Amino acid sequence: MSRDSNKARLFTRRTILIGGVKVGLLSLLSARLYYLQILQNERLRTLAEDNRINLRLLAPSRGQIFDRTGAPLAINQQNYRVVLLPDQVNKLDDILKKIANYVEVSDESIKRIKNDFKRNGGVNTVMVCDNLTWEQVSAISLHMPKLPGVDIEVGEIRTYPYGGVAAHAVGYVGFFSPEDKKRGNKGLSIPGFRIGKSAIERQYDKALRGKPGDLQLEMNAHGRIVRELTRHEPKSGKDIHLTIDVGLQQFVSNRLKSERSAAAVIMDIHTGAVYALVSHPTFDPNVFTYGIDQKSWDDLSHNKRLPLLNKVLDGVYAPGSTFKLVTAMAGLDSGLCNPKEKIYCTGHLDVGNHRFHCWKRGGHGPVNLIEAVAGSCDVYFYEMGKRIGIDRLHAMAKRLGLAQKTGIDFPHERTGLVPSRAWKMATRGASWNLGETLLSSIGQGYVLTTPLQLAVAAARISNGGFAVKPHMFIPSGKQPVFKSLGFDRQHLKVLVEALTASVNSSKGTAYGARTENEDFAMAGKTGTAQVRRISSSERAGGVRSNDSLPWKERDHALFVGFAPIKKPRYVASVIVEHGGSGARVAAPIVRDILVACQKRNPAGT
């Protein structure tokens, strides 16, 4: 009886112990289930959805660019491309080798693809290559079962119908790069996504890009698409209409083709609309769209004639005698120049131990302002420079738009330089001297300008003295209103008369470039800018002609002019690098392009 009682008590204790353990384990399990299902519900639901749902960005259609007449300058065309679905690719190197059997995959592309894989975290597709032919699309589609993670997508690619004709005006697009990221640009993780790299494409990139859409796809355990859950369509970028007249642009481009290196710009003197902007030699922007190879890039970037440089905005040159319109205006405005006063030119002016020569060896004799501008007498403007002083010259140059950015809607332009006493002390740590003033007064020495700046200066003189600024994008609504620069109208009239005589007077330096049709007659100023120093011994024995010099040592040829004389509307500025005489080389180009511009009449006057 006692033994049975002990067995019962032992059995009861074991039962209680086992039951307690079971209850404890059940309590722990219940607590864990409560933690997972109640407390961690939202977090685990999110993780589950992430594993089941794939979010992809949808590329917006880039806004197109048109000229003022509606002619397409930058458009989008249908484009087939090979992409990889990261979550379905096990061995990237192996799949790339297989793809290479059907399309070319360069080492540079492989490097980019691997970087893209790392950056997007397997969420978005990664582009292998685009611009596929239909034969390539067919071959890949046929072998798709053997290419896991490979797909063909239909997208858009940027195309420039006029190629190099408008390259420096419109610009080009390219792949988002680390350099772009450093500059603060933001890209999108979308296959084939490109951003504006230069000119208008870069200036208005945000407006042209549009906004991406997105697509939510339900995926199965094997990474295959089950169904589309949600779709938000992308918003296309805005189309842009430029002031450029592509017909005029083509004419100017063809007119410069015979030169080794040159630039030209045509602008409305009242509105600032740029009708043509050409830098020669040029390049084909389409090669950047598809991804330029290293050899082609080296050929462009190392070309001594700088085809990638927009010489209209970023080329800075000594303006030579075209700067004399600034000196003349400074003399008139300061009251130190009487336009009727005659100054005698003997062919040189001595200042201390230095002799400053006129381009005309025997001198011009006695000349007034109009005669000095027409004949481009250096001695007359040396004398004006002495009277005016460098600081007044600097101030007038700034009023006319030099030594500063013009404000054109481009991502970059050079400021040029018109020196002052303060500038030399700050940059050179030296005092200014009179000889430097004389050189500056004829557009030599430290003075540097861009072709666009010279066009702006001539426009401000010919439009009645208003501070016109150039632009490329056609603004909506009212035309811009520009403030008056406060010039005396009589002074402007005298200077316009002098610039008219420069072309249409028999003693004018550009007389040979005049047009016989008075309705299209132009006014303007020649410029021949030295790029080498002429020694006293060479001058004594006779200055060597440009034709006898190596190309790099020849003078730059410049001309800036406006037309028609009776009612000015258009201004044109041309630089022919190492072209020699401004009168013989640059002036005829300006005549031809201004006549063409007046015939097309983009201003509609």
**How many helical (H) and strand (E) elements, i.e. helices and strands, does the chain have?**
23, 19
- Cβ pair 509, 526 in contact under 8 A: yes
The values of phi and psi at residue 379, to 5°, are: -60, -40
Distance CA 182, CA 190 (A): 20
Smallest Cα–Cα separation from 101: which of 130, 154, 143? Answer: 143
Find where tokens 């030296």 sit: 430
Q: By C-alpha distance, which of 288, 200, 199, 265 is closest to 237?
A: 200
- Beta bridge partners, 344, equal 366
Residue 321 is a catalytic residue = yes
* 344 Cβ contact partners less than 8 Å away, ≥ 6 residues apart: 363, 365, 366
C-alpha–C-alpha distance, residues 120 and 122, integer Å: 6
Give the closest residue to 124 by CA, choosing from 158, 174, 88, 78: 88
Active-site position among 198, 253, 279, 321: 321
Q: Which two tokens stand for residue 321?
A: 């005698």
Dist. CA 449–CA 401, nearest whole Å: 10
For residues 175-193, one letter each, b for 16 or more C-beta atoms within 10 angstroms of the residue's C-beta and e for the rest, the string is: bbeeebeeeebeebbbbbb
CA distances from 46 to 14, 33, 50, 122, 428 (A): 45, 18, 6, 18, 65
**Site of tokens 């005659």:** 342
Give the Cα separation of 567 and 109 in Å (integer). 57
Tokens 């050899």, residue located: 295
Question: Taking the mean position of all CA atoms in its chain, how far away is CA 171?
Answer: 6
Query: Which residue's structure tokens are 């945000």?
Result: 206
Instruction: Return d(Cα 560, Cα 582) in angstroms, integer.
Output: 10
Which structure tokens are listed for 106? 């360069």
Closest by alpha carbon to 332, among 391, 269, 396, 376?
396
Q: What are phi and psi of 466, to 5 degrees?
A: -105, 145
- State CA 153 to chain mean position distance: 31
What is the rounded CA–CA span in Å between residue 511 and residue 507? 7
What's the number of CA atoms in the CB half-sphere (13 Å) around residue 556? 28
Write down the H helix ranges in 225-368: 246-256, 286-289, 294-301, 311-314, 324-334
Q: What is the DSSP string of 5-57?
A: HHHHHHHHHHHHHHHHHHHHHHHHHHHHHHIIIIITHHHHHHHHHHHHEEEEE
In terms of phi and psi (left: phi > 0; alpha: psi -120 to 50; beta: otherwise), the region of 335 is left
Phi, psi of 140 (to 5 degrees): -70, -40
Which positions are catalytic? 321
